[in-house]
């Protein structure tokens, strides 16, 4: 009896040990299943043996959709064309395009999704100052490559700028340069500005003020602003006319830019017109009508329809991949100009890609000409790749280059 009893007890003890062992084993297996990545070799995020993952969040709906669709789909179409030409050292691009509807909270959500869910190697572009700023801290802290958010001063107050590269002109300098040109060559005496009420328009307004201060005998006599959602700018046209200006600077999106020019034409008022580079789209001749002729604007890459072969070739390729881009050729080209330097850097790095190598390759770009972007220069202490623009004049539905490159000081 006793022996039997003790045997039973011993058996029970054995069973218990077995059970613990089994549970322990199960836990180990679960843990191994849950953390498979830690065992493997550390790999660069967004770089797989076959793919390079590029992400962007742009407004594909809402008031700025025109911009976002052109830029976002332009980037996508351009990368597809590179894939079909063989990719970069055996890897193909995969583009993840998210819609933020021009809303900052959505942009903040999207960049996290890009990095943590889609594991992107780099984030390209981003439209809208508020959106870019809402996403900025996260992108910088996650040490993600960030190429050309289209907003000036995004670098202000940043300590860590290693992974931020910008190939986009400075609004401030653009406003200044064009104003000085008008004062010296076009006989402007009284300036007025029509601007979008946000960082974009206000940056240009500040530039015009600098220009007015630097040039002799010019005064800023009027300014009128609009909101990006406005569909009627007739009041602004009247206000600008009452200011008695002889020259009007248009710092607007294509929609409102065309509206104000039409309104001024309705009033029978034809001042000298100046405009920012974002209105360089040939579509403006159709939108704004006859009054768009004789306007002066700046450009940082050869404008479509100005006879540059590389540009026309790129446009042809883009249209082949995405026919919808025919409606916004300028923005599609702008998208290409943002992503191009990164593609070139990846080419230079070779098959063994790491983020720091790409940064070093970006910083090695000197006066580099791409299909769209021209004269891109980065360096250890210079991550603003563009420091020059030129001035074009519109005549007979064409933009004609009338000055050489005009340089300005880069700020970071």
Shortest CB 271 distance to another protein, Å = 25
- Minimum distance from residue 72 beta carbon to another protein (Å): 12
Instruction: Give the chain's end-to-end CA distance (angstroms, integer).
Output: 90
- Rounded CA-CA distance 213/219 in Å is 8
The single-letter DSSP state of residue 21 is: H
Per-position DSSP letters for 265-302, written without gaps between them: HHTT---EEEE-GGG--THHHHHHGGGGTT-EEEESSP
Residue (140 or 261) nearer to another protein, CB: 140
Helix axes 355-363, 329-349, angle to 10 degrees: 110
Of the two residues 61 and 395, which places its CB atom closer to another protein in the complex?
61
Smallest gap from Cβ 294 to another protein, in A, equals 31
Contacts of 112 (CB under 8 A, 6+ apart): 138
The torsion region of residue 58 among left (phi > 0), alpha (psi -120 to 50) and beta comes to beta
Q: What is the maximum span of the chain, computed from C-alpha positions, in angstroms?
A: 120
Comparing CB distances to another protein, the nearer of 46 and 271 is 46
Q: Which is nearer to another protein, 198 or 246 (CB)?
A: 198
Q: How far is the CB of 152 from another protein (least distance, A)?
A: 10
The nearest distance, CB 400 to another protein, in angstroms, is 34
Q: Which residue has the tokens 């797989």?
A: 48
Q: Which residues contact 28 (CB under 8 A, 6 or more apart)?
A: none
Q: Which residues bind another protein (CB under 8 A)?
A: 60-61, 65, 98-99, 101, 103-106, 108-109, 112-113, 115-117, 129-130, 133-134, 136-138, 141, 157, 197-199, 202
Shortest CB 164 distance to another protein, Å: 16
Nearer to another protein, 44 or 113 (CB): 113
Complex with another protein: residue 106 or 262, whichever CB lies closer? 106
- 3-state helix/strand/coil string of 35-68: CHHHHCCCCCCCECCCEEEEEEEECCCCCCHHHH
Q: Which is nearer to another protein, 168 or 378 (CB)?
A: 168
Least distance between another protein and beta carbon 68 (Å): 10
Q: Between 97 and 303, name the residue whose CB sits nearer to another protein.
A: 97
Q: Report in angstroms how near the CB of residue 312 gets to another protein at its nearest.
A: 30
Nearest to 328 by CA among 278, 362, 294: 278
Which residue number, 154 or 343, has a Cβ lying nearer to another protein? Answer: 154
In sequence order, which residues have a C-beta less than 8 Å from that of residue 357 and are 6 or more positions away?
349
Alpha-carbon span 229 to 92, nearest angstrom: 38
Nearest approach in angstroms of CB 57 to another protein is 10
């Amino acid at each position: 009896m006793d022996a039997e009893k003790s045997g039973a007890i011993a058996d029970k003890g054995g069973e218990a040990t077995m059970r613990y062992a089994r549970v322990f084993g199960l836990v180990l297996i679960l843990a191994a299943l849950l953390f498979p990545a830690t065992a493997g070799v550390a790999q660069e995020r967004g770089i797989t043996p076959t793919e390079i993952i590029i992400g962007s969040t742009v407004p594909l709906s809402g008031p700025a959709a025109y911009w976002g669709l052109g830029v976002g789909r332009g980037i996508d179409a351009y990368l597809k064309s590179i894939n079909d030409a063989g990719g970069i050292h055996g890897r193909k691009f995969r583009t993840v395009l998210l819609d933020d509807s021009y809303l900052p909270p959505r942009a903040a959500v999207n960049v996290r999704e890009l990095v943590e869910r889609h594991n992107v190697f780099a984030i390209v572009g981003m439209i809208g100052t508020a959106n870019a700023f809402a996403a900025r801290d996260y992108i910088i802290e996650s040490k993600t490559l960030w190429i050309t958010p289209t907003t000036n001063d995004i670098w202000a107050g940043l300590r860590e700028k290693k992974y931020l590269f910008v190939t986009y002109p400075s609004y401030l300098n653009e406003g200044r340069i064009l104003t000085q040109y008008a004062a010296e060559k076009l006989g402007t005496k009284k300036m007025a500005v029509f601007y979008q009420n946000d960082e974009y328009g206000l940056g240009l307004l500040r530039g015009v003020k600098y220009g007015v201060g630097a040039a002799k005998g010019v005064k800023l006599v009027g300014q009128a602003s609009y909101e990006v959602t406005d569909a009627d700018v007739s009041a602004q046209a009247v206000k600008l006319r009452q200011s008695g200006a002889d020259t009007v600077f248009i710092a607007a999106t294509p929609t409102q830019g065309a509206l104000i020019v039409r309104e001024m034409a309705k009033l029978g008022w034809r001042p000298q017109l100046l405009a920012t580079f974002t209105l360089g789209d040939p579509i403006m001749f159709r939108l704004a009508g006859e009054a768009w002729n004789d306007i002066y604007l700046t450009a940082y890459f050869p404008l479509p329809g100005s006879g540059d072969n590389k540009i026309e070739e790129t446009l042809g390729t883009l249209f082949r991949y995405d026919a919808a881009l025919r409606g916004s050729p300028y923005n599609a080209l702008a998208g290409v100009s943002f992503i191009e330097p990164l593609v070139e850097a990846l080419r230079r790095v070779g098959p063994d890609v790491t983020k720091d190598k790409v940064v070093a390759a970006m910083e090695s770009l000197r006066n580099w000409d791409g299909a769209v972007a021209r004269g891109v220069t980065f360096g250890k202490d210079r991550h603003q790749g563009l420091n020059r623009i030129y001035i074009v004049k519109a005549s007979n539905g064409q933009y004609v280059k009338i000055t050489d490159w005009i340089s300005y000081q880069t700020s970071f």
